[in-house]
Structure 1
Amino acid sequence: MPFTYFWIFLAVILLLLDLWVINSVWRSDNSTGNKAGWTAMVVLLPFLGLAIWSIAGPRGVTKGPSSPEHSKG
């Protein structure tokens, strides 16, 4: 049984990383078509899409918090 929990743990970590990547892609300043392409790659090929995005994906986030209450910095 512990071996099964290991794979579940890895799947959860991969899912969280993919969600983080998708959020980062949609907050970037690229075109909507580019964003859709990156999202499709990450959703359809979770591990490979994550690896390719880490090398060639969009850099920088242009949209900050939506209100001053959300930026506690």
Structure 2
Amino acid sequence: MTLAFLNNFGGIGTLIFFILGLIYSVVWVYCLIDIIRSDFKDSNMKIIWILVILFAQLVGPIAYLLMGKSTKISTTNPY
């Protein structure tokens, strides 16, 4: 009953819906893993970004990808 509206899309609509959901899931997991593995300028930024990703489901990962780089400590490898 929950996904009954997909019957109106037909086969290609269901496929597009599935692919977009899969892409979003991969981006969401990538952002979450990147936040956990990164060091930030402010120690509270890691918690703030995790909360943004979790509670702002649609715009959270996009905001992190656009603005998250500026809040990280830049680690440049000399080699």
Structure number with the bigger relative contact order (C-alpha 8 A, sep ≥ 6) is 1
The reply to whether TM is greater than 0.5 is yes
1:6 to partner: Cα distance: 0.7
Q: What TM-score, normalized to structure 2?
A: 0.62
Matches within 5 A, 1:1-73: 1-30=11-40, 31=43, 33-58=44-69, 59=72
Alpha-carbon displacement from aligned partner over 1:15-69 (angstroms, at most 9, x marks no partner): 11110011111111122x321221121122233112211221144687xxxxxxx
Structure number with larger C-alpha Rg: 2
Structure 1: 4+ residue segments shifted above 6 A: none
Q: Is the 8 A contact 1:28 1:61 kept in 2?
A: no
Segments of 5+ residues of structure 2 without an aligned counterpart are 1-10
Corresponding residue SS for 2:58: helix
Question: What letter corresponds to residue 10 of structure 1 in structure 2?
Answer: L
Segments of 5+ residues of structure 1 without an aligned counterpart are 63-73
Distance 2:20 2:34 in 1: 21
| RMSD (Å), alpha carbons | 2.0
